Structure 1
């Protein structure tokens, strides 16, 4: 997994401050240690978070690490989303 401990802590803290029951997963190219670069793809499972909360989480990450490409996918558990079903098997829980 190609995230620093500080990045992981910042992401988790931002999410869990808004929803203590949320789960955060990394997916995409950053789960592969043999690759380089790439955006940070995060799947957030929460029944409480909103799109506005995702903007807050992204902003807190930018404040700590500068602007980077961070994709946040919210899974509220209320639908059968094909994209989420596709990424879940490779996702790593932070």
Structure 2
């Protein structure tokens, strides 16, 4: 995994301020020590986070980490169970919160 403790803590802080019960997954190139790529791909599973919250979370993460590309996908727990996109993400993702 190519995120350091400060980056993980910033992501957790931003997400958990909206939903302490959310599950946070890192996927894509940053989930692997062997791949290159600079963006941070995150999947949040939450029944509470709205679209407006998603924008606020992205803003807070960028404030804490500096400007960088972050892809943030938010799905409900129920949708995650039937969504093939989420299933494919979870197969190679790392839970960070």
Q: Which bin holds the TM-score, normalised by the shorter protein?
A: over 0.9
CA–CA distance in structure 2, aligned partners of residues 12 and 62 of structure 1 = 13
1:85 is matched with: 87
2:22 and 2:44 in contact (8 A); partners too: yes
The alignment partner of 2:73 has SS state of strand
1:37, CA displacement in angstroms? 2.8
**Which residue in 2 is equivalent to 1:26?**
26
TM-score (norm 2): 0.90
Structure 1, unmatched stretches of 5+, are none
Runs of 4+ in 1 over 3 A off after TM superposition: none
| Unpaired segments ≥5 residues, structure 2 | none
Give the count of matched residue pairs: 94
Secondary structure class of the residue paired with 1:21: coil
If the length of structure 1 is used for normalisation, what is the TM-score? 0.93
- Counterpart for residue 68 of structure 1: 68
Q: CA RMSD in A?
A: 1.1
Deviations 1:41-73 (A, max 9, x none): 001010000111111111011112221110011
